[in-house]
Structure 1
Amino acid sequence: MARSLDRKRCIIVTVVTVVLLIIVLGLVLGLTLRRDPEQFETTFIDRCETFEGYDCKKLWTTFEQAYVGRDPCKVTPEDYDPFIAAASFKPACDRMMFWSKTKDVVHAFTEKNPCFVTLEDTVLGGVVDGLTWCGKEGSSETFTIGCPGWTDCENNTVRSFWNRASVAFADAACGDVTAMLNGALDTPFSSASIFGSIELPRFTSPKVKRLHILLVSQTNSGANCTNASLQEIQKTLSAGITYSCKDMTEAQLQQCSHKPCGNCW
């Protein structure tokens, strides 16, 4: 009788354990493959509607067609070509601002000084800035968790998008162009960055007349315009484009935010 009870208890414990494992596994898979297409789509369209002149629902449909139902590591920059064409914008000659490793600083600046425009200040980049997304083979949904990271595979959904969008933004550059780099780094310029590998090589004369580098740091103790890495910019820069550079602290940059349109450097 005792053995029979022990056996029943053992069976009950085993069943409970299996059920708990199934529940835990389901939760893990749910987190890994969680999809929230409605929230992502809503965010995309809400952001799009802050820009004038776009059919935002049509723009969303064009955007998702680049990756939905596909292996998230096999989405190329060219897959976003239809979206890039649909999200075309008027070039802001003399006002386009590029950046590398200064995202928070540059956007705090352009938010207060709309004279300058970054990729993320246009519909092209603004609709998905800071977001993660991907599709899955056999699914018609957009996923926001479980997507490959920036370095997990070369042609992942997000990386391919920003590479293609950066090409479009750089191709639109005209007149005087500004790039904000991080003066707190030992090597403020990297040829492997998006700015160094994609945007800078696409500046062409006479469309682009001048490239001005802003080397921004919290204090004056950081790198300056004599930094060896900046010489690589001058070597890469297309013939006919004038190069200049200025060291600035974040406090000095903040003062520029409150001045009327026009360079304060």
Structure 2
Amino acid sequence: MRPSRVTLDGLLFAMITIINLQRADQWRGPGTTPNLEDIVIGRCYDYIETVNPSVGKKNCTAIWEAFQGAFISKDPCSVFPSDYERYINLTLHDIPMNKSLFWENNKQLVHRLSDRGKRYMALGDTLMGWLADNLHFCGSSSNSGFDYNSCPTSSECESNAQESFWRSASVTYAKHSSGEIQIMLNGSTPGGGFPMPRDSCGENSTARLQSVLSHRGFPYDCYDNYRAVRILQCVDFPGNPECTTNSGSGFTSVWMTMIPVWITIMNNYGNMND
């Protein structure tokens, strides 16, 4: 009987080891960014001192505490937008009129265009967005800290730390936008809610957006291949024929992976609270 007992003990040890390995990597998303506290606080001081001093003095330590307090040591699938309320209040500042820039599926190009708030101020150019941009973060309910091994993706659970953060920040950004609002969409992104080979003003999902704007009484202009954005794209591909001619034709070359659709909204109602 003794050999059987040794076998059972070995089996139990193997089962515990497997379970622990699974728990260490249970989510499909990257784990919390190492040195998260140093990065967030460092970005905070950089923003208020060099990037956008016009926001005035901010308590960067209190901002960090509010940020981590929203999700640290919590079930990573039970973090809600309301958990970031204190963080939002501490980082809030004015968004200059006529400089709000909304976007979808063209992040790098948008930030090149906005130029850290000099031309436009996208969400990632505000203090609340600047601090968390390109970072990963989530807490762990099994210990008093962060999960550095993995974090849940939105497909695994919507109420995760990152999804809820950006929802809260996006709503706040929209509410504090005023004047002429800019929207830049990627007209050639595959998939999505209304999958089409390509989109442009007056067609497919863009037409749906235009219909919503008209119904709500927002006057707007819509431009395909907005010239300022096209010039930025040509910086990366200067030898392409589309960048060396004055042709008004649409992009047909395979190098142009993003067809920019630019919509300007004249917001006559002050802040976008609806």
Q: Same fold (TM over 0.5)?
A: yes
- Structure 1 residues 74, 177: CA separation in 2 closer, same or farther (over 3 Å shift)? same
Conserved in 1, the CA contact under 8 Å of 2:201 and 2:207?
no
Shift in CA distance, 71/114, structure 1 to aligned 2, threshold 3 Å: same
1:45 to 2:24 alignment:
no
> What percent identity do the matched residue pairs reach?
28
Residue in 2 that maps onto 1:101: 105
Separation of aligned partners in 2, 1:112 and 1:68: 29
Preserved CA contact (<8 Å) 2:99 2:182 = yes
Which residue of structure 2 aligns with residue 117 of structure 1? 121
2:210 maps to 234
Q: CA RMSD in A?
A: 3.6
| Cα distance in 1, alignment partners of residues 35 and 92 from structure 2 | 25
Q: 212, 220, 225: which one pairs with 2:201?
A: 225
Indicate the residue corresponding to 1:217 in structure 2.
none
Residue 59 of structure 1, CA deviation: 0.1
**Contact residue 132 and residue 145 of structure 1 kept, 8 A:** no
> What does residue range 1-265 of structure 1 map to in structure 2 within 5 Å?
39-52=35-48, 53-111=57-115, 114-185=118-189, 223-237=199-213, 239-248=216-225, 250-253=229-232
- What's 1:12 paired with? none
Q: TM-score, normalised by structure 2?
A: 0.66
- TM-score (norm: length of structure 1): 0.68
Show structure 2 runs of 5+ residues with no match.
1-8, 49-56, 236-261, 265-274
CA offsets, 1:40-65, max 9 Å, x none?
A: 11111111112212211110001111
In structure 2, what is the Cα distance between the partners aligned to 1:59 and 1:77? Answer: 16
Code of the residue aligned with 1:39 in structure 2: it is N
The 8 Å contact of residues 32 and 151 in structure 2, kept in 1 or not, is answered as no
Bigger Rg, which one: 1
Show structure 1 runs of 4+ deviating over 4 A.
15-38, 253-256
**Which stretches in structure 1 are left out of the alignment for 5+ residues?**
1-14, 192-220, 257-262
> Aligned pair in 2 of structure 1 residues 35, 90: CA closer, same or farther (>3 Å)?
same
C-alpha distance 35-234 of structure 1, shift in aligned 2 (>3 A): closer
